[in-house]
Structure 1
Amino acid sequence: MSRRAIERTAVIAVIGLVFAGMTTHSVTVADPGCAPVGTVGSPEVAVDESTAGLEALAPAAVDLPEQVWVRTTAESFNRRWTFATREGNVYVKEAAAQAGWRTVELPGCLAGRVAGVSADDDEVMAIDRDGRFFTMDHALSAPRDWNWSSRYGTPLWTGPGNILPPGTLAWSWSVLSPNEDHVWRDTAGNDHPVGGAKVSHVFALTHGGQRIQYVDPWLPVDHSYEMATPYGGRFQAVALSTSASTSLVVNRFGDFYTRLYDFDISGADKVFFRYSYEDQRGLPEAPDMLAERVDNRYAAIQLPAPDWERQPKVPGEITDRISVHKTGPGSSARELRVEGRDGGRNGFWTKRLTDASWTFVATDRPLVGAVLENSPTDRSTDTLAAPSPYDYQGVSPQGWSARVRAFDVAVTPTPLRIEFGDGGGLGLILHTVDGLRQTPQQPGITDQPRHFDGTIELSPDALAGLDAQSAAARDFARNILGGKRFTDTSVAVTDAGFHIAALDLTLNRS
């Protein structure tokens, strides 16, 4: 048995322990008259690099472009195939070919009803007119291997299906895989194996462009998981594209940001991965996922997860048709594209993720997207949404008080201020990660308790300056926090209260 097969067996065994004895809510999403099972979510098989089965597909009878340059939900591509949707159907051609579009075979209840399609890696996500998910597997293989599934959700991608979050402005399918990507890099500069399975998400831009909800097929059938937009979740985007867990957003003034983020990278998947807020720089990288998970000699995944990075302004006209796609192994192998114009010619602006500037590629095709203002100056903060309204405060039995302001489920870290009766105070940092759930959770903050994996951080400066603090502050840091920089804690939040287990304290909504 190969090392990869051993890892996969170990993963499946751990999954069995996680799901043993768990119950899931029954949610009917899929059309009962159309429930294709498919192979999506199952272990990878060998890729057939031929085009077997392509000639059996009927030639397309609609007008389609010779070449697709930008990944959208009307036209998309992976490294082998280009897909497009017109009039409710899906069409395909070889990515390197200038012509040869053919009609993809669809399940009966999906044919004629496709509202969007997005390809990444070896999977294609199609959304029907009701927002329901249909996934095509083996999209890097020959067409004869392609098959569709309406399954989505826990356990193990066998759930009843899911739909786009309400109010979705833009969405994208993202797949980070061990076969194509191999590794990704954390904020300590360490590369980590993707794991024994792929990380597949639908990323959806919602709430007027302020929020990004992601829907993982191994997680509950809900819309509760989020990735914050830039500026603490207050940035308002008009477009989104995601590939291999790298998201690209832009506002109406042409300010671009990218972020490497998914459920595993966020710190949420403690069943399969080992994370740490302690500095992991300089530690050796693990040779594989299993060693990383069980051997403390190797670098753990550095937390917090990577934040948004601002990209340079495009030196020309642009539209809201933006795109990111993978170009090779590793999380830096990404290309960004945005439709636009330069010198009177239409085309697209492009840059590799790490390039310092954009270059223009002329296509001389009509612009499709809405033209953005693209101010030459940074206007990221011009349209920031209001801060989160969830403020909490309370007093402990010992007499010290605590305060959390503008808490947001998708934003971390959050300042945690402690005030003491003798006039002293400590500014702490509260890290929160939305943990692994197997039952549905309402989105946002509601009366349903929402549980986070938390870590209280006493900054190095605060630790070094304890001797200058008040006696009460010194006592708190040394006795309650154990004199440590990091203290793990569970955190439970509702729209009325905020409980921090390590402090044995519940704050009330203020």
Structure 2
Amino acid sequence: MNFFNIKKVFFIAAIFLISDLKINSQDASGFLPDEIFLRTMTQSHCKYFDFTIVDGRIYAKKPSEKKWRLFLKTGLPYSKMNTTGLDEFPIPERVAEISADGDSLYVFDNNGILYTTFLDRSAPESPFVWKRAFGFPKGENGFLKQDEFTKNKRAWSMGCRRKDVLYHTDIYGNEHHYGTMGLETIYFLTEDGLHIRFTDSGLPADFSRQIQVPLNGRFISESLSASADTIFLIGAKGTMYTRLVDFDTMGCDPMWFQYTYDKLEQKKKGKNYFSNYSPWALPAEEWLEQPKIQIEGKGRLSKIISIAQNGQGNGARILRVAGTDKDGNTGFYEKSIFDSEWKFVEKEIYLEESDFLDSTKNELGEEAEFSYTGNLIISDSTKENFKCSLKGVSLMSEDKCIFEISDGEQTFSCTLFPLEKWTYPKRKNPGFDGTPRNYFITAEFDESKLENYSGEFKKIIDEIFKNKNHNLFAFTGEGTKEYFEIGINTKRPKLLKKPFSSKSVKYIFMMTREGIEEIPKISEFALPLLKDFKNENLLLEQGRTYSIQERSLIQSKINENIKYRELLNSDLEQFEELKKTARHTRWGYSALDFITTITFLNKINFPKIKQLSTYGADLLATNFSSFEELVQYRNFVYRRVIELIDLRIENYEKLIQDFDNNEIYSTLNPNLRNSFSEYFDEVSLPRKMKMELSKNNIAIEQFNDVSYLPAYYLKTKNGTVVTIVLKNSAKKILEFLNDKKNFEASPLVLNAEFISEEISEIDLKENKAFKRISNKKGTIEWNGKTLKILSGKKILFEGTL
């Protein structure tokens, strides 16, 4: 047998062996190969090790070795309970996904929980010690688990930016050393290919932060790979983009790094440790479209792509795209990130038909940015003739949008750069789920053109924007799909003592999307537990007659309602504890700010005291305020929802009581309802009403989501706003309906409490009922035609249909 035939026999034998092993495309380099060529979700490599997953366990070898071994002897993450203490966790059943880069290894188990370990002694913590704890702040649930936004991802990858890559270069060519810690960032490409969610160990353990994909959020990616925080994407037609971006380089971490939007020449090079302290240029680099791979003959490209760091600086990245050449040979197309041409490297790569790109698919999704219009508010008063707009808002963690304001004759426009603030609480999908994304904002415009304006318009524009071009984070903002609000100064108002009221900063641009007039204060997204309030597992049919054969069904509904009530109470208790932590953290930074100010430490940059004292207080005040508001919302809403649940349980239990009294059948109270709005409608409480005879033109209106909160807003033309929250209203109305009372003979009387931050001096003079209103007990009287609201014994409002 000659050499050719021997080689052929071994090749055929290898095919049968591989077939028996059922290699899938994520094992693109093969079963326990001599070298891992491509970083996938089951095979990865870095400077220190090659890794692969075999039947749920991690095998590893050094690049110079041939023999594969179970990583750290077990192939599974485990905690050294006798030494770690703070991070003890049960050994997972299986490892499902893996990513290695730099000196770090990140793996997810079969339940989607993340475990990490370092691979070199130069890393920030001891190497070869598994950790489950992830994110900041640490806590009982301080670990990362894939959620509804990431578990069906198209791809994910981890990038480590530390000593091996050493430095990064900003958009003006200035190099910045990684510092002492560096970071690892995890990037997820979502199921639709249109979103990149990311997190790192210094952020809360969630996937709430997002990076906008190329083409203003419209590029559909088939796959993603990352290394040294450079992301590599590929679309169905083979279009490719790369970008170096993480929470720090995009400018979101001013507590620890200096940033600038000006082009400043930096003298220190990236190998110099102190270059880390020089200002990082913003905005972060944009997406770079990579040269197309020229395909000939039998050549095809796949969605199996890989990027790997191979030296120092931004240019030290190797890109690989698995596929076939013009003759149909397998391998990968390869080039350095800034090279202009690709070359094909023939290798034994295992690809399935579904791995190849389908060029008939679209690479462009629908419009992904939002526009808003609104008004300028000065000291709580709306300037009706000053209209403003905001266009091109992505609601991602970094943004770039166009702002305009006009008085009808003159127009000022500028570019705004919003950057997401570091936030303390875990979140789901801020900006898109009813909760806002909070931003620092910097403006860019031609300062000299301010001289072209005149009159009141010039005075206001000067006061807001003069000397603010590239003035770092001179503005703050928050936004959702429904609204975007921009505050003109970075000093926050006093923390809210009560919800549904606030003191505005002097200037505010308040804008909403077209067709949206009111912004709901409460939603099932802001308070996600509310979505279960009307779950069919909790509900019986109103007015239906039940028999003793259905006793178990009724009891199960009672039990589910009791569990739900306990869940609401437990959630309240947890947030109260978190709020205490947030308060203590905030005080800690306030003390630091005070100490650094009186000792002049805030004037120096080493070791980053100035950044911490400049932005730390604002960030932590934002977080404390967020917690304060979240806890207040929960208290207000949950207590009222629990009121409805208690009524539900009480009436369901009456059915069981009838059965205990030997009744064969029992009818559920036909007047029982499942929301405050339903109760209000049953007695025809007006949704809106005006007090026509009042000098100050008082109007009331039901709260915009009265299903969960029984409340009215009272407003006057002088700017007074009072929230009127009804107490025990569901129970009172149910009793009224059960007794079949007549409105004229016995009006409905409901107790109320008042919430108000400020009362207009004019309103106080005209109606003494406004005096100290928040400290008074109130009532609402309704006789079917006339609604009367009393603050104490004084009439606050009286209107007739």
* Equivalent residue letter for 2:57: N
Structure 1 pair 354/158, CA: closer, same or farther in 2 (3 Å)? farther
Answering whether residue 159 of structure 2 is matched by residue 174 of structure 1, we say yes
Distance between the aligned counterparts of 1:224 and 1:145, measured in 2? 29
1:506 alignment partner in structure 2: 510
Give the superposition deviation at 1:365.
3.4
Q: Does the Cα contact within 8 Å between 2:177 and 2:274 map onto a contact in 1?
A: no
Distance between the aligned counterparts of 2:331 and 2:339, measured in 1? 19
SS at structure 2 position matched to 1:504: strand
Distance between the aligned counterparts of 1:269 and 1:191, measured in 2? 18
1:127 alignment partner in structure 2: 108
1:107 alignment partner in structure 2: 77
Give the superposition deviation at 1:498.
1.9
1:190 alignment partner in structure 2: 174
Answering whether residue 220 of structure 2 is matched by residue 216 of structure 1, we say no
Q: Does the Cα contact within 8 Å between 2:371 and 2:389 map onto a contact in 1?
A: no
Give the superposition deviation at 1:157.
9.8
* 66-75 or 101-110: bigger deviation: 101-110
SS at structure 2 position matched to 1:432: strand
SS at structure 1 position matched to 2:192: helix
Structure 1 pair 336/157, CA: closer, same or farther in 2 (3 Å)? farther
Structure with bigger strand share is 1
Give the superposition deviation at 1:484.
4.1
- Per-residue CA deviations over 1:319-343 (Å, capped at 9, x if unaligned) read 0000000001112211100101113
Q: Does the Cα contact within 8 Å between 1:210 and 1:233 map onto a contact in 2?
A: yes
Answering whether residue 130 of structure 2 is matched by residue 148 of structure 1, we say yes
1:384 alignment partner in structure 2: 365
Give the superposition deviation at 1:393.
2.7
Distance between the aligned counterparts of 1:290 and 1:120, measured in 2? 25
2:45 alignment partner in structure 1: 77
Q: Does the Cα contact within 8 Å between 2:442 and 2:470 map onto a contact in 1?
A: yes
SS at structure 1 position matched to 2:107: strand
Q: Does the Cα contact within 8 Å between 2:48 and 2:103 map onto a contact in 1?
A: no
Answering whether residue 286 of structure 2 is matched by residue 307 of structure 1, we say yes
Structure 1 pair 426/215, CA: closer, same or farther in 2 (3 Å)? same
Structure 1 pair 156/303, CA: closer, same or farther in 2 (3 Å)? farther
Structure 1 pair 289/439, CA: closer, same or farther in 2 (3 Å)? farther
Structure 1 pair 153/392, CA: closer, same or farther in 2 (3 Å)? farther
2:599 alignment partner in structure 1: none
Q: Does the Cα contact within 8 Å between 2:374 and 2:509 map onto a contact in 1?
A: no
Distance between the aligned counterparts of 1:291 and 1:315, measured in 2? 40
Give the superposition deviation at 1:481.
0.6
Give the superposition deviation at 1:111.
5.5
Give the superposition deviation at 1:187.
0.3
Match of 1:236 among 197, 215, 220: 220
Structure 1 pair 427/278, CA: closer, same or farther in 2 (3 Å)? same
Give the superposition deviation at 1:474.
4.2
Structure 1 pair 216/360, CA: closer, same or farther in 2 (3 Å)? same
SS at structure 2 position matched to 1:391: strand
Answering whether residue 36 of structure 2 is matched by residue 68 of structure 1, we say yes
Structure 1 runs (4+) deviating above 6 angstroms are: 156-159
Distance between the aligned counterparts of 1:145 and 1:358, measured in 2? 37
Distance between the aligned counterparts of 2:340 and 2:359, measured in 1? 18
| TM score, norm. by length of structure 1 | 0.78
Structure 1 pair 326/251, CA: closer, same or farther in 2 (3 Å)? same
* Equivalent residue letter for 1:442: K
Cα RMSD after superposing both structures: 2.7
Distance between the aligned counterparts of 1:206 and 1:272, measured in 2? 30
1:326 alignment partner in structure 2: 309
1:3 alignment partner in structure 2: none
1:21 alignment partner in structure 2: none
Give the superposition deviation at 1:426.
2.1
Q: Does the Cα contact within 8 Å between 2:450 and 2:466 map onto a contact in 1?
A: no
SS at structure 1 position matched to 2:248: helix
2:234 alignment partner in structure 1: 250
1:389-428 correspondence to structure 2 within 5 Å: 389=370, 391-396=372-377, 397-398=382-383, 399-410=385-396, 411-421=398-408, 423-428=409-414
1:24 alignment partner in structure 2: none
SS at structure 2 position matched to 1:232: helix
Q: Does the Cα contact within 8 Å between 1:87 and 1:112 map onto a contact in 2?
A: no
Give the superposition deviation at 1:207.
4.6
1:233-382 correspondence to structure 2 within 5 Å: 233-280=217-264, 282-285=265-268, 293=277, 299-316=278-295, 317-344=300-327, 345-368=329-352, 370-373=355-358, 382=363
Distance between the aligned counterparts of 1:414 and 1:332, measured in 2? 29
Distance between the aligned counterparts of 1:305 and 1:67, measured in 2? 34
1:53 alignment partner in structure 2: none
Distance between the aligned counterparts of 1:194 and 1:114, measured in 2? 31
Match of 2:99 among 118, 125, 129: 118
Distance between the aligned counterparts of 2:273 and 2:436, measured in 1? 33
Give the superposition deviation at 1:359.
0.7
SS at structure 2 position matched to 1:348: strand
* Equivalent residue letter for 2:325: D
SS at structure 1 position matched to 2:389: strand
* Rg larger for: 2
Distance between the aligned counterparts of 1:455 and 1:438, measured in 2? 22
* Equivalent residue letter for 1:311: Q
Match of 1:447 among 430, 434, 438: 434
Match of 1:492 among 478, 485, 493: 478
Distance between the aligned counterparts of 1:186 and 1:435, measured in 2? 21
1:12 alignment partner in structure 2: none
Distance between the aligned counterparts of 2:230 and 2:139, measured in 1? 22
1:46 alignment partner in structure 2: none
Distance between the aligned counterparts of 1:84 and 1:71, measured in 2? 10
Distance between the aligned counterparts of 2:275 and 2:322, measured in 1? 43
Structure 1 pair 346/291, CA: closer, same or farther in 2 (3 Å)? closer
SS at structure 1 position matched to 2:216: helix
| TM score, norm. by length of structure 2 | 0.51
SS at structure 2 position matched to 1:478: helix
Structure 1 pair 480/306, CA: closer, same or farther in 2 (3 Å)? same
Distance between the aligned counterparts of 1:271 and 1:468, measured in 2? 37
Answering whether residue 105 of structure 2 is matched by residue 137 of structure 1, we say no
Give the superposition deviation at 1:467.
4.9
Structure 1 pair 271/467, CA: closer, same or farther in 2 (3 Å)? closer
- Per-residue CA deviations over 1:156-212 (Å, capped at 9, x if unaligned) read 7996211124332210011101x2122100001100111220211111011501010
- Per-residue CA deviations over 1:228-250 (Å, capped at 9, x if unaligned) read 11112221111000010100001
* Equivalent residue letter for 2:438: H
Q: Percent identity?
A: 25
Distance between the aligned counterparts of 1:419 and 1:473, measured in 2? 8
SS at structure 2 position matched to 1:265: coil
Structure 1 pair 506/286, CA: closer, same or farther in 2 (3 Å)? farther
* 168-177 or 493-502: bigger deviation: 493-502
Q: Does the Cα contact within 8 Å between 1:240 and 1:248 map onto a contact in 2?
A: yes
* Equivalent residue letter for 1:117: I
Q: Does the Cα contact within 8 Å between 1:80 and 1:96 map onto a contact in 2?
A: no
The number of residue pairs the alignment matches comes to 432
